[in-house]
Structure 1
Amino acid sequence: MSLALKTLQLKARYQVYTLLAGNNLSKMHGEGYDFSELREYQIGDDVRKINWTITAKLGRPYIKELHANRELSVVVAAMMDGSLYFGADNLKQHAVTEIATILGYSAHHNNDLFTGFNFYSDKYTLAPPTKQLYHIENYSKELYEQKILHTALDYTKAIQTLSTHIHKRSLLFIIGDFLEPVDLSLLAQKHEVIAIIVRHREEEKPHKLGDVILDNPKSTQSLNTDFSTTSIQHYLAKLKAHDETVQTHFIHYNIRHTKIYTDEDPIDKLVRLFV
């Protein structure tokens, strides 16, 4: 394990045990309960607990008793492709890794079940449901070392994989730069989805470069262009329209979200999500 990765993990673990201590990851209400038994309705019972299907079959009212299930299923899905390969030192990929590591340590600290997905190209690897630090740290290492240059992620396939592989209602974090259209509506119907957008500030405030050759990090293609004020304005207009569409999608499906830049400490914005 590289020293940089070990430092990242130590920092994330320290922050979880200090800044996140006592904060519940989930804001789900009424979902953290398992079925216990059916029994006949008694005067004073909450009528909202009546099971109308059983009541209709038996001809008298029955209610559904539940017992608390405190264990939360936390799923982290990292969307990894060439678009993360931006700026010096591969900072976007490192930020994704740090965020995923913090979430993994937080799940472990709360004694919740953690599952980690690493999506890249048309493939994925999986850290199976676990409470073991070894699997969480191995997932962190995998994200940090994932080869992403000249790769393009199949987002539709990734979302379908999540939909078919996560059976238990979960707190699902999806981490990526969200520079591609992503439809999370199906996942939001089944799970509590939180989107974490990772960006480099220069992606949103680019500098004039003049005549340059731009390499596409998602392919081996290059573009010889004049990256002038006009080009920047055109680029920013398209980015703004895209981000507004993404924002509308999140609001419509009640998806909590935050944006974290590579020059920020992610723990600050994560804390705001949890409190």
Structure 2
Amino acid sequence: MVGNNPSIFQGEGYDFIELREYMAGDDIRHIDWNITAKMQRPYIKIFREERELNVVVATMLNGSIHFGSKRFKQDVIAELVALLSFSVIKNGDLLTNYNFSDRLISHLKPSKKVFQVQRTVEEILEFDPLNQKADYNNLAETLFKRIKRKSLIIVIGDFFEIPDFRVLAKKHEVVAIIVRDHLEEKPPEMGFASLVDPESGAVLEGDFNKASVNEYAKKVHAHDRKLYEALRKQQIRFTKIYTDDSVGVALRRVFEGR
């Protein structure tokens, strides 16, 4: 419920600012019919006092979200999307949903309808992420090309790849929500075991003793330091949510810390 808009006031306000091409979900009462007739494409008027946000919730559904000691990360992502989406609609803003892996999986157009939340959450819960790879740069390029109106874009994933959101963040406000499980950052000693990579299906066999798991934990920690540094340089706000966290509390932490 906390965003760029100080209230849920909508309407023309007082001062005309510019014209832009019509997008699905825009108020048809704002169409400038003279310009539309000349350009042969619908255009709408933008006013200074318009406070309606365009919020885009994008998820990364790759193989590594099929993991969790308390809950699967996939379930936590679905809960995050539901909570964020209901908040956007309750606030009277436009909601757009995207689901990605190394490609665009699905997309729901801008809407204020509650049924869109159910459809998106069902798609996330029913999707089989095994053997799916993550491509955050493709996500950024796709959203940059598709989203014309300045928006609040919330990207949800486990971010074991460091994204390049620089171009996207120059045009929009971007927030990253990192979903993790404690065991994948600091696994227990397991002795001799076989592990399966949920993205590639490759099997890793070895002695997962104290030394090896500590070395792994150090690599994850180093990766996250680079991730945080990259996000800060790109002026992207972020938070990390674990599978045993209270999702609502964690979201308030990132959005109230504006």
CA contact (8 A) 2:154 2:177 kept: yes
CA contact (8 A) 1:34 1:69 kept: no
User: Matched residue pairs, number?
Assistant: 224
Match of 1:113 in 2: 94
Unpaired segments ≥5 residues, structure 2: 19-45
CA deviation digits over 1:166-207, x for unaligned, max 9? 111101100001111211111111111110000001112210
Match of 1:192 in 2: 173
Q: Which structure has the bigger radius of gyration?
A: 1
Shift of 1:37: 5.5
TM score, norm. by length of structure 1: 0.76
CA–CA distance in 2 between the matches of 1:246 and 1:181?
6
Shift of 1:159: 1.7
CA–CA distance in 2 between the matches of 1:90 and 1:160?
31
The within-5 A match list for 1:101-250 is 101-250=82-231
CA deviation digits over 1:77-135, x for unaligned, max 9? 00011011113576100001100111100110001000000102423210111101111
CA–CA distance in 2 between the matches of 1:110 and 1:203?
36
Shift of 1:234: 1.7
Task: Sort the Cα spacing of 1:274 and 1:27 in 2 relative to 1 into closer, same or farther, 3 A.
Answer: farther
Unpaired segments ≥5 residues, structure 1: 1-22, 39-64
Match of 1:68 in 2: 49
Identity of aligned residues (%): 36
Q: Which amino acid aligns with 1:126?
A: H
CA–CA distance in 2 between the matches of 1:272 and 1:224?
40
Structure 1 residue corresponding to 2:78, chosen from 89, 93, 97: 97
Match of 1:42 in 2: none
CA contact (8 A) 2:63 2:132 kept: yes
CA–CA distance in 2 between the matches of 1:253 and 1:120?
22
CA deviation digits over 1:196-226, x for unaligned, max 9? 0000011122100011001010012101111
TM score, norm. by length of structure 2: 0.81
Match of 1:269 in 2: 250
Across the aligned residues of Structure 1 and Structure 2, the Cα RMSD in angstroms comes to 2.3
CA–CA distance in 2 between the matches of 1:236 and 1:177?
16
